[in-house]
């Protein structure tokens, strides 16, 4: 997968507690975000990124405390998630 980067240009945090980020994404990554937005019913790409970060936070927290993530397929087979 081609690499993507996050710009170092971050606007100061306004009083609302929000920060504006400028992302430099490969077109394939943007397309993947669009597919995820459509598939999940998310209202925006920002919502897709927010949900993705929340899931990644849960997964990494679980794994760093010794847990593992296992996907169980409809046929009963299981696959363990390994983060690189």
Q: Is the pTM of this model over 0.85?
A: no
Q: pLDDT-based confidence at 83, cuts 50/70/90?
A: confident
CA dihedral 84, 45, 58, 63 (to 10 degrees): 0
Inform me whether the pLDDT recorded for 32 exceeds 60: yes
Q: Distances in Å between the alpha carbon of 71 and those of 8, 9, 61?
A: 36, 38, 17
Among candidates 31, 28, 63, 26, which has minimal Cα distance to 48? 31
Beta pairing class for 69-72 and 21-24: unpaired
Better pLDDT: 54 or 83: 54
Q: Which domain holds residue 54?
A: 5-81
- Chain centroid, CA 83 distance in Å: 13
Burial of 49 (0-12, 13-18, 19+ CB in 10 A): middle
Domain count, the chain: 1
């Amino acid at each position: 997968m081609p690499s993507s980067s996050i710009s170092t240009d971050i606007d100061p945090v306004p009083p609302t507690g929000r920060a504006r980020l400028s992302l430099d994404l490969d077109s394939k990554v943007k397309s993947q975000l669009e597919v995820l937005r459509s598939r999940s019913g998310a209202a925006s790409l920002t919502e897709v990124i927010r949900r993705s970060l929340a899931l990644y936070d849960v997964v990494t927290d679980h794994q760093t405390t010794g847990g593992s993530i296992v996907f169980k397929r409809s046929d009963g087979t299981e696959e363990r998630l390994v983060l690189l």
